[in-house]
Amino acid sequence: MQTLDENKRKKIIAAAGKLFGKKDYHSVCLSEIAAEAKVGKGTLYVYFKSKEDLFSSVRIEGYMDMYRYLSKNIDTESGDPLEHLHKIISETVKYCYRNKSIFKLLRAGTGTKMKPEIKKTRKKVLELTRSVIESGVEKGILCDSKPAYTANYLLDVVRSGLSYSDGQIPQDELIEHIYNFFSRALKK
Protein backbone atom coordinates (compact mmCIF):
# COMPACT_ATOMS: atom_id res chain seq x y z
CA MET A 1 0.00 0.00 0.00
CA GLN A 2 1.28 3.41 -0.94
CA THR A 3 1.51 5.86 1.93
CA LEU A 4 1.38 9.61 2.32
CA ASP A 5 4.80 11.11 2.03
CA GLU A 6 5.47 13.73 4.69
CA ASN A 7 8.33 14.95 2.59
CA LYS A 8 6.06 15.67 -0.33
CA ARG A 9 3.68 17.54 1.95
CA LYS A 10 6.58 19.72 3.02
CA LYS A 11 7.53 20.34 -0.58
CA ILE A 12 4.00 21.48 -1.40
CA ILE A 13 3.84 23.75 1.64
CA ALA A 14 7.18 25.26 0.71
CA ALA A 15 6.15 25.87 -2.88
CA ALA A 16 2.83 27.36 -1.80
CA GLY A 17 4.55 29.52 0.82
CA LYS A 18 6.94 30.88 -1.75
CA LEU A 19 4.11 31.85 -4.08
CA PHE A 20 1.65 33.11 -1.46
CA GLY A 21 4.47 35.26 -0.14
CA LYS A 22 4.93 36.91 -3.51
CA LYS A 23 1.37 37.31 -4.77
CA ASP A 24 -1.97 37.54 -3.08
CA TYR A 25 -4.26 34.61 -2.45
CA HIS A 26 -6.41 34.82 -5.55
CA SER A 27 -3.51 35.54 -7.85
CA VAL A 28 -1.81 32.28 -7.02
CA CYS A 29 -3.38 29.38 -8.86
CA LEU A 30 -3.14 25.79 -7.89
CA SER A 31 -1.55 24.58 -11.10
CA GLU A 32 1.21 27.08 -10.41
CA ILE A 33 1.76 25.64 -6.97
CA ALA A 34 1.67 22.12 -8.34
CA ALA A 35 4.27 23.01 -10.96
CA GLU A 36 6.49 24.71 -8.39
CA ALA A 37 6.26 21.67 -6.12
CA LYS A 38 6.75 19.36 -9.07
CA VAL A 39 3.62 17.34 -8.37
CA GLY A 40 0.37 16.94 -10.25
CA LYS A 41 -2.47 19.25 -9.47
CA GLY A 42 -4.59 16.38 -8.27
CA THR A 43 -1.96 15.47 -5.71
CA LEU A 44 -2.57 18.76 -3.94
CA TYR A 45 -6.02 17.43 -3.10
CA VAL A 46 -4.58 14.28 -1.60
CA TYR A 47 -2.69 16.35 0.95
CA PHE A 48 -5.05 19.30 1.35
CA LYS A 49 -8.79 19.45 1.05
CA SER A 50 -9.00 22.83 -0.65
CA LYS A 51 -7.04 25.91 -1.59
CA GLU A 52 -8.13 27.56 1.63
CA ASP A 53 -6.93 24.57 3.58
CA LEU A 54 -3.57 24.69 1.86
CA PHE A 55 -3.25 28.39 2.54
CA SER A 56 -4.15 27.94 6.19
CA SER A 57 -1.65 25.13 6.48
CA VAL A 58 1.06 27.31 5.04
CA ARG A 59 0.38 29.99 7.63
CA ILE A 60 0.10 27.56 10.51
CA GLU A 61 3.29 25.80 9.45
CA GLY A 62 4.95 29.20 9.12
CA TYR A 63 4.04 30.31 12.62
CA MET A 64 5.00 26.94 14.04
CA ASP A 65 8.35 27.02 12.34
CA MET A 66 8.93 30.55 13.56
CA TYR A 67 7.87 29.57 17.04
CA ARG A 68 10.21 26.58 17.08
CA TYR A 69 13.02 28.76 15.85
CA LEU A 70 12.41 31.49 18.41
CA SER A 71 11.87 29.22 21.38
CA LYS A 72 15.01 27.28 20.51
CA ASN A 73 16.99 30.49 20.56
CA ILE A 74 15.35 32.19 23.49
CA ASP A 75 15.24 31.08 27.06
CA THR A 76 12.51 33.00 28.79
CA GLU A 77 13.14 31.60 32.23
CA SER A 78 16.28 33.28 33.43
CA GLY A 79 18.33 36.36 32.76
CA ASP A 80 17.68 39.97 31.86
CA PRO A 81 14.31 40.78 30.25
CA LEU A 82 15.96 43.45 28.12
CA GLU A 83 18.39 40.91 26.77
CA HIS A 84 15.48 38.64 25.99
CA LEU A 85 13.72 41.45 24.25
CA HIS A 86 16.78 42.08 22.14
CA LYS A 87 17.00 38.42 21.35
CA ILE A 88 13.34 38.20 20.40
CA ILE A 89 13.64 41.19 18.11
CA SER A 90 16.88 40.13 16.49
CA GLU A 91 15.79 36.53 16.00
CA THR A 92 12.40 37.56 14.64
CA VAL A 93 13.97 39.96 12.19
CA LYS A 94 16.63 37.44 11.19
CA TYR A 95 14.05 34.74 10.73
CA CYS A 96 11.96 36.99 8.50
CA TYR A 97 14.95 38.05 6.45
CA ARG A 98 15.83 34.44 5.90
CA ASN A 99 12.23 33.53 5.05
CA LYS A 100 11.27 36.55 3.04
CA SER A 101 8.03 34.94 1.95
CA ILE A 102 6.77 34.36 5.46
CA PHE A 103 6.56 37.88 6.73
CA LYS A 104 3.87 38.90 4.28
CA LEU A 105 1.78 36.11 5.68
CA LEU A 106 2.08 37.49 9.21
CA ARG A 107 -1.00 39.56 8.60
CA ALA A 108 -2.36 38.04 5.44
CA GLY A 109 -6.09 37.76 6.00
CA THR A 110 -7.80 36.52 2.88
CA GLY A 111 -10.94 38.47 3.50
CA THR A 112 -12.50 35.36 4.91
CA LYS A 113 -12.17 35.32 8.67
CA MET A 114 -8.92 33.95 10.03
CA LYS A 115 -9.41 30.33 11.06
CA PRO A 116 -9.17 29.78 14.84
CA GLU A 117 -6.33 27.32 14.37
CA ILE A 118 -4.21 29.98 12.71
CA LYS A 119 -5.01 32.41 15.48
CA LYS A 120 -3.93 29.84 18.02
CA THR A 121 -0.59 29.29 16.32
CA ARG A 122 0.00 32.99 15.86
CA LYS A 123 -0.80 33.44 19.50
CA LYS A 124 1.98 31.06 20.50
CA VAL A 125 4.47 33.40 18.85
CA LEU A 126 2.93 36.43 20.53
CA GLU A 127 2.86 34.76 23.95
CA LEU A 128 6.61 34.47 23.83
CA THR A 129 7.01 38.22 23.61
CA ARG A 130 4.22 38.90 26.03
CA SER A 131 5.65 36.64 28.68
CA VAL A 132 9.07 38.27 28.36
CA ILE A 133 7.54 41.71 28.84
CA GLU A 134 5.36 40.52 31.68
CA SER A 135 8.22 38.97 33.55
CA GLY A 136 10.15 42.21 33.08
CA VAL A 137 7.24 44.13 34.55
CA GLU A 138 7.05 41.77 37.52
CA LYS A 139 10.75 42.20 38.14
CA GLY A 140 10.24 45.96 38.12
CA ILE A 141 12.56 46.45 35.18
CA LEU A 142 9.96 47.12 32.52
CA CYS A 143 6.76 49.10 32.48
CA ASP A 144 3.75 48.33 30.28
CA SER A 145 0.06 48.43 31.09
CA LYS A 146 -0.87 46.03 28.29
CA PRO A 147 1.96 43.67 27.34
CA ALA A 148 -0.38 41.78 25.04
CA TYR A 149 -0.94 44.86 22.89
CA THR A 150 2.77 45.52 22.76
CA ALA A 151 3.55 41.97 21.68
CA ASN A 152 1.11 42.46 18.87
CA TYR A 153 2.77 45.69 17.81
CA LEU A 154 6.12 44.00 17.66
CA LEU A 155 5.24 41.60 14.86
CA ASP A 156 3.69 44.39 12.87
CA VAL A 157 6.61 46.71 13.41
CA VAL A 158 8.95 44.03 12.14
CA ARG A 159 6.77 43.60 9.10
CA SER A 160 6.65 47.34 8.71
CA GLY A 161 10.42 47.58 8.79
CA LEU A 162 10.85 44.74 6.36
CA SER A 163 8.58 46.26 3.77
CA TYR A 164 9.97 49.76 4.22
CA SER A 165 11.14 50.81 0.77
CA ASP A 166 10.92 47.19 -0.36
CA GLY A 167 13.23 45.70 2.22
CA GLN A 168 16.15 48.01 1.65
CA ILE A 169 17.04 48.46 5.32
CA PRO A 170 20.09 46.41 6.32
CA GLN A 171 19.17 43.72 8.80
CA ASP A 172 21.35 44.94 11.65
CA GLU A 173 20.23 48.51 11.31
CA LEU A 174 16.61 47.43 11.52
CA ILE A 175 17.25 45.26 14.56
CA GLU A 176 18.97 48.09 16.36
CA HIS A 177 16.34 50.63 15.52
CA ILE A 178 13.49 48.42 16.64
CA TYR A 179 15.29 47.32 19.78
CA ASN A 180 16.11 50.88 20.69
CA PHE A 181 12.56 51.85 20.14
CA PHE A 182 11.02 49.07 22.17
CA SER A 183 13.52 49.09 25.00
CA ARG A 184 13.16 52.84 25.49
CA ALA A 185 9.40 52.50 25.40
CA LEU A 186 9.35 49.73 27.97
CA LYS A 187 12.28 50.52 30.27
CA LYS A 188 11.22 51.79 33.65
Q: Which does 14 bind (CB under 5 to 8 A by kind): DNA, a copy of itself, none?
A: none
Contact region with a copy of itself (CB under 8 A), list: 37-45, 59-67, 85-93, 177-185: 177-185
Binding partner of 5, given DNA, a copy of itself, none, CB within 5-8 angstroms per partner class: DNA
Q: Choose the contact partner of 168 out of a copy of itself, DNA, none; CB within 5 to 8 A by kind.
A: none
Those residues whose C-beta lies under 8 Å from the C-beta of residue 148, and which sit 6 or more positions away, are 126, 130
How far, in Å, CA of 133 to CA of 139, rounded? 10
- Contact segment (CB under 8 A) with a copy of itself among 8-16, 65-73, 87-95, 153-161 equals 153-161
Q: In whole angstroms, what is the distance from residue 147 CA to residue 129 CA? A: 8
Smallest separation (angstroms) from a copy of itself to the CB of 160: 4
Per CB under 8 A, which region of 6-14, 52-60, 132-140, 143-151 contacts a copy of itself?
A: 143-151
157 binds, among DNA, a copy of itself, none (CB under 5 to 8 A by kind): a copy of itself
Separation between Cα atoms, residue 176 and residue 89, nearest integer Å: 9
Task: Please state the closest distance from residue 158 (CB atom) to DNA, in A.
Answer: 29
Give phi and psi for 172, each to the nearest 5. Answer: -65, -35
CA-to-CA dists, residue 135 to 9, 87, 126, 150, 167, angstroms? 38, 15, 14, 14, 32
2: left (phi over 0), alpha (psi -120 to 50) or beta: beta
- Contact residues toward a copy of itself (CB under 8 A) are 22-27, 104, 107, 109-112, 145-146, 149-150, 152-153, 155-157, 159-161, 163-164, 169, 174, 177, 180-182, 184-187
